[in-house]
Amino acid sequence: MNFKKITLSLVAAICLCCTGLFGEAHAIDLEGTYIAPKVAYSFMAIEDIHQAGSAAKSNSHEQAWGGALAVGYDFGVKTQIPMRAELEYSLFETQRYDSSNEVAGRLERSQAVLANIYYDVKTGTMFTPYAGIGAGVGFVGGDTNFAWNLRTGIAVDITDSIKADLGYRYVQMGEVEGYRTYKGDLYAHDLMLGVRYTF
């Protein structure tokens, strides 16, 4: 799956979500709920690559385009609590990792579903720095692992309900397995740029 297909898939998902949300807007109080599509560039790495029974280890690195879609709730809209909670799905294109000991040369798409909590630093300006933490499930090829992430960033007010969001995410995806019994620990440094629309 290339970046164009990822982007189109995210746009389609956003349209479907918005259609459903606006259709129920009169029946459900959505104030404080937000939706946040994002594009991302990831610096991925597999470390401690090894083969069963061998003490030899190495590392491998790669970059990838991807995207994410988050749905969350901003507690600060109705209360004085400057916190947000969200559920985020992210997807990065198919990757092939090159290394001296032939790890995972056919790692497939990397996906994650993470539940995140953020603390927003209110500055009284159009700029709102934030920090967050979250955990969930990572899917890499045929491997399903516990995943966790740390993140920080800054949101910029565009209108009362729309913010531009520039963020950084460090995510641990757990141990992944390649061919010829090679294994390694996958992590990534992700740069994310998105738009957050709050109802």
pLDDT at 32: 92
pLDDT at 51: 56
Q: Which alpha helices (DSSP H) does the chain contain, by range?
A: 3-23
Distance CA 105, CA 98 (A): 6
Provide the residue type at 185 as one letter.
D
DSSP string, 132-158: EEEEEEEEETTEEEEEEEEEEEEEEES
Element spanning 6, H or E: helix 3-23
Mean pLDDT by 10 residues, the chain (199 residues): 50 50 59 96 76 54 88 94 97 62 56 97 96 95 90 97 97 74 80 97
Within 13 Å of residue 31, how many CA atoms lie on the same side as its CB? 7
pLDDT at 30: 87
pLDDT at 124: 92
8 A C-beta contact, residue 65 and residue 3: yes
Distance CA 69, CA 156 (A): 18
Three-state DSSP class for residue 78: coil
